[in-house]
Structure 1
Amino acid sequence: MSFGEPEGYDERARPRPLGARVRMRTVAAAACVVLGLGLIGGAMTGSWLVGDSGGDGAKDSFATAGSLWHSVPVDQLFPRNVEGKGAGPGDADRTWTRIAVAPDSGCADAFDPLLRQALAPVGCQRLLRATYVDATQSYVTTVGILFTKADAAAMSALDTRFSKEGLGRRTDLMPRPYAAKDTLAAGFGTAQRASWTVSVLTDAPVVVYAVSGWADGRTVDDPQPAVTAMESGDTNAPAQAGLGHEAKGLADRIERALRKNATPASEQPS
């Protein structure tokens, strides 16, 4: 059994078979499909010609970050002045001034034993440290950049361990400050540590940390990790003074500067 072609009407209201029109629409649709496939294919070809550098770019940035300790000027890793817009309690602005830079070194005497043990799986290639004072000269903060010997998998594993085991909150894993002589941080020793933060990067072989305290050298009986000291309603002395914000705010901005320096020039916005 077969069916006749459906009919329509022409401009004079005469019956007209629709087969030709259907065929024309079919041909047009097919042409659109071919054109669409051509455009997609062209785009894909263009992508192949240009090269998708997502994976390679990440690898390049990781490798570049590992060499920054000897390829980038100290003023780029630790700017003389750091602006912290909204970094203080209640989103108040902060400004930090660098008062000392430690000689680049290894990690033998830079960390308390337990922290050194926790960081041991990623190794220590180089350690850079600088100490800053806030605009009121009330607080001092040491920021450290640990360049490890690890690959991306090892850094990811360390980050996972710090997160799952809460290592960044343990007072026996606080980083040591850099107490530079003849500066406001001369009395900034281990007993003066008030708040701290440790950030394990997974896109670079780097650990960034910061530890803060009072510039007058007062000792602290109950230091608080920055994440706790920054919580609303915390009545602990370091929290009330905003020392958690000092450590976290400065560490975050030094980390941003590090990432900027690690990004290949071709990937940086023009």
Structure 2
Amino acid sequence: MTFAQPEGYDENARPHPLGRRGRSQVVAAAVCLVLGVGLIGGAVAGSWLAGDSGETGVDSGFAAAGSMWHNVPVDELFPPTVQGKGAGPGDADRVWTRIAVAPDSGCEDAFDPLLRKLLAPVGCERLLRATYTDATQSHVTTVGLLFTKADAAGMASLAGRFDKERLDRRTDLIPRPYAAKGTAAAGFGAGQRAAWAISVLTDAPVVVYAVTGWADGRGVDTPLPAGDAMESGATTAPAQAGLGHEAQGLADRVERGLRKNVGTTTEQPS
């Protein structure tokens, strides 16, 4: 026993067998298929010719950041004046003025032995430092950019260790200040470190840090990580003086400037 092929109806209510496409439909489908394959193939070829992949932009940005210590003017990495809108206690505005720039150098004698040992796995390509004072010239802050020799995996590993072991809070891992002679920071030594911030970047081979103290050279018995000094209700002298805000505020803005310059460096001409 056999059955007739089931019928459907076209737009004019004429019966036609189901499952059978008109010639125009078949032609249209074939054209779409050819065009689709052509577009996909063209996109793949174009991407390959341009060297475009999902990670290319990230890789180029990482590499560009690593060369900024000799490609970007010092006034862009450490501006003569830094505006800190809302960076002070109670969201007060801050203004910092650069009073000294250290010669670019290696890392020998730039860090205490334990911190130098911790940073050793990522290497030291170049260390750039500048020291600022606040508008009242009561505080001094050294900001540093350590350009490492590490790749992205190496920076991620170091950042993970800092995060897991909370190394940015240890008082035996505070960066050293840059005490320039003849400036308000002349007496800014190891014993004057009051608050600090340190950040290991993972999208650039850079460690950003800042360390703050009083401009009058007074000593500090118990320095605080910037986060602790910025907590509401903190009663220590560095916290009451807003030194945590000084360190964190300057470190954040220098880091933002670094990222902005990376974006400019990696732009392609049109």
TM-score (norm. length: structure 2): 0.85
Provide the C-alpha distance between the structure 2 equivalents of 1:55 and 1:267, rounded to a whole number of angstroms.
16
Provide the C-alpha distance between the structure 2 equivalents of 1:262 and 1:102, rounded to a whole number of angstroms.
22
User: What is the letter of the counterpart of residue 2 of structure 1?
Assistant: F
Are 2:232 and 1:232 equivalent residues in the alignment? yes
Task: Tell me the CA shift for residue 192 of structure 1.
Answer: 1.4
**Is contact 2:5-2:18 (8 Å) kept?**
no
Are 2:206 and 1:203 equivalent residues in the alignment? no
Task: Tell me the CA shift for residue 210 of structure 1.
Answer: 0.4
Q: Which residue of 2 aligns with 1:2?
A: 3
User: What is the letter of the counterpart of residue 5 of structure 1?
Assistant: P
Q: Which residue of 2 aligns with 1:30?
A: 29
**Is contact 2:47-2:53 (8 Å) kept?**
no
**Is contact 1:61-1:264 (8 Å) kept?**
no
Identity, % of aligned pairs?
70
Provide the C-alpha distance between the structure 2 equivalents of 1:89 and 1:61, rounded to a whole number of angstroms.
34
Provide the C-alpha distance between the structure 1 equivalents of 2:4 and 2:234, rounded to a whole number of angstroms.
83
User: What is the letter of the counterpart of residue 226 of structure 2?
Assistant: A
Going from structure 1 to structure 2, the CA distance change for 1:57 and 1:228 (only over 3 Å counts) comes to same
Q: Which residue of 2 aligns with 1:80?
A: 80
**Is contact 1:127-1:145 (8 Å) kept?**
yes
1:73-105 Cα distance to aligned partner (Å, 9 max, x none): 211211111122232223332221101111222
User: What is the letter of the counterpart of residue 30 of structure 1?
Assistant: A
1:175-228 Cα distance to aligned partner (Å, 9 max, x none): 111111221112212121111011112222221110011222222222110122
Gaps of 5+ in 1: none
Task: Tell me the CA shift for residue 3 of structure 1.
Answer: 4.5
Q: Which runs of 4+ in 1 moved over 3 A?
A: 3-11, 18-22, 24-33, 35-51, 262-266
1:235-255 Cα distance to aligned partner (Å, 9 max, x none): 232222221121111112112
Q: Which residue of 2 aligns with 1:194?
A: 194
Task: Tell me the CA shift for residue 262 of structure 1.
Answer: 3.2
**Is contact 1:101-1:131 (8 Å) kept?**
yes
User: What is the letter of the counterpart of residue 138 of structure 2?
Assistant: S
3-state SS, counterpart of residue 23 of structure 1: coil
Provide the C-alpha distance between the structure 2 equivalents of 1:244 and 1:174, rounded to a whole number of angstroms.
13
State the Cα RMSD in Å: 2.9
Q: Which residue of 1 aligns with 2:104?
A: 104
Gaps of 5+ in 2: none
1:142-188 Cα distance to aligned partner (Å, 9 max, x none): 00111222222222221111111111100011011111122111221
Task: Please say which of residues 162-171 and 214-223 is displaced more in the overlay.
Answer: 214-223
Are 2:11 and 1:17 equivalent residues in the alignment? no
User: What is the letter of the counterpart of residue 89 of structure 2?
Assistant: P
1:92-129 Cα distance to aligned partner (Å, 9 max, x none): 32221101111222222211121111112222222111
Provide the C-alpha distance between the structure 1 equivalents of 2:25 and 2:3, rounded to a whole number of angstroms.
21
Q: Which residue of 1 aligns with 2:168?
A: 168
Provide the C-alpha distance between the structure 2 equivalents of 1:231 and 1:269, rounded to a whole number of angstroms.
46
Provide the C-alpha distance between the structure 2 equivalents of 1:250 and 1:268, rounded to a whole number of angstroms.
30
Provide the C-alpha distance between the structure 2 equivalents of 1:93 and 1:199, rounded to a whole number of angstroms.
23
Map 1:1-270 onto structure 2 (within 5 A). 1-8=2-9, 16-19=14-17, 23-24=21-22, 27=26, 30=29, 34=33, 39-263=39-263, 265-267=265-267
**Is contact 2:177-2:188 (8 Å) kept?**
yes
Provide the C-alpha distance between the structure 1 equivalents of 2:40 and 2:92, rounded to a whole number of angstroms.
50
Provide the C-alpha distance between the structure 2 equivalents of 1:269 and 1:238, rounded to a whole number of angstroms.
48
Going from structure 1 to structure 2, the CA distance change for 1:47 and 1:124 (only over 3 Å counts) comes to closer
**Is contact 1:192-1:220 (8 Å) kept?**
yes
Going from structure 1 to structure 2, the CA distance change for 1:179 and 1:266 (only over 3 Å counts) comes to closer
**Is contact 2:84-2:95 (8 Å) kept?**
yes
Provide the C-alpha distance between the structure 2 equivalents of 1:174 and 1:142, rounded to a whole number of angstroms.
12
Going from structure 1 to structure 2, the CA distance change for 1:28 and 1:234 (only over 3 Å counts) comes to farther
